[in-house]
Amino acid sequence: MFELIEEYQLLSAFWMTIKLAAFSAVISLVVGTVVAIMRLSPVKIFQSVGTAYVTLLRNTPLTLIVILCSLGIWGQLNIDLASRESSTFLVDNNFRWAVAGLSAYHAAFVCEALRSGVNTIPLGQAEAARSIGLTFAQSMRQVILPQAFRGAITPLGNVLIALTKNTTVVAAIGVAETAYRMKALAEFEPALLMVGFAIVALGFVILTLPMGMLTSYLSGRLAVKR
């Protein structure tokens, strides 16, 4: 079994999965928050852009988003995310485009999670913020968003879990993560398919179970008591 893990570099594959998930989680949180603010803002055009973003990204399969990032944005618009001089240009570039695709897709879900968090805030909070003369930006920053994040812990945790599992999709552009290694294993060592699947499945259980537990712990702890 250990030879199998070594031969198909399953450990480095899981490390790749973790890196993809970590980077995408941070970026999608930032982008998602921006989109959520746009959707809540008083300026009509920002609302429309935010809504269009969520509608487009949420309804496209992630596989296609990732492929279009690589073939379309990298290939056609010539936007390199790494230095062409570097000896690891392709590896870095693919990784970063994978992160970009994953982040763009999950940002739409982060945005929706935050909006559901905003919905948990009683009207009085926003009214109070306005009545003491806070502007939109001020009330967002100091009253609404802090409570929205705390109210949205559960859906945000779910997005993080989904994101971790969705990293497998980037095998389509040749990023060497778990699905990529598992495909190689299935093709070259059919006899080991069962063991390989067991290891990969176990790995994902180990990755996602703590996330789920942390989410419920935090949501209980951080929920705004009303």
Query: Where does this chain touch other proteins (CB under 8 A) — which range of 4-12, 19-27, 107-115?
Result: 107-115
Q: Name the nearest CA neighbour of 170 among 109, 84, 106.
A: 106
Residue 72 in contact with other proteins, rule: CB under 8 A: yes
Minimum CB–partner distance for residue 77 and other proteins (Å): 5
118 neighbors 148 (Cβ within 8 angstroms): yes
Minimum CB–partner distance for residue 3 and other proteins (Å): 20
- The 26-45 contact track toward other proteins, x by CB under 8 A, reads --------------x-xxxx
Residue 24 in contact with other proteins, rule: CB under 8 A: no
Between 68 and 224, whose beta carbon lies closer to other proteins? Answer: 68
Residue 195 in contact with other proteins, rule: CB under 8 A: no
Task: Give the Cα separation of 145 and 125 in Å (integer).
Answer: 11
- Site residues for other proteins, 43-62, by CB under 8 A, read 43-46, 49, 55-56, 58-62
Q: Name the nearest CA neighbour of 113 among 62, 151, 161.
A: 151
- The 113-152 contact track toward other proteins, x by CB under 8 A, reads x-xx-xx-x-x--xx--x-----x--xx---x--------
Between 30 and 56, whose beta carbon lies closer to other proteins? Answer: 56
